[in-house]
Amino acid sequence: MVRRKPEEIQEIKKRLLEHYPQAHTELNYKNLYQLLVAVMLSAQCTDKRVNLITPDLFKKYPNVHALAQADIDELKELIKSCSFFNNKAKNLIKMAQMVEEKYGGKIPEDEKELVKLPGVGQKTAHVVMIEYFGKNLMAVDTHVFRVAHRLRLSDAKTREGVEKDLVQAFKTDLAAIHQAMVLFGRYICTAKNPKCDQCFLYDLCDSEDKRPLKDS
């Protein structure tokens, strides 16, 4: 795959930032604890579904201490409409217990420490660091992965590879670009039937998924 020219990358960056100013996650949260739990639940699950689950979840388990003492079956019942709820329930409790035991009940604010928590991989840690702290990091979910390939920003086969390519391509404003690419992929550059007639990057796209515009 022929990669983008530097001027094309800058144009893509410019349009993404202009089209999605002050973009942020669509997950509902009030603090770092709630954000981390919501992001953990969102893996292979929609933000919309997570937002339906978390009000009751946070009411029953309002903090790390409460979650660390949660009954596994009761927690599973609360999150059962979420994909992979069995594993997520186990990881949520283990995460909270580790935060209690190793970090004095305070969720670490450092990426290297975050990824040590059960159920928290690099992507989850980066999403939290991007959203809560505005760190200059890139996180690659299914939307960012798809958009990066369609716009010829990466041809890597793994999320880690795509992340590396995007960081190298954009360098700065990574947090804002991540949020913008998520929203762009979720609502315009969709997996099926992309809304090319609404696309502000149409002229820069030569993806095989690109759809011809209807005559006006």
Q: Which residues are catalytic?
A: 123, 141
> Residue 147 corresponds to which tokens in the numbers above?
């958009």
Contact 147, 185 (CB under 8 A): yes
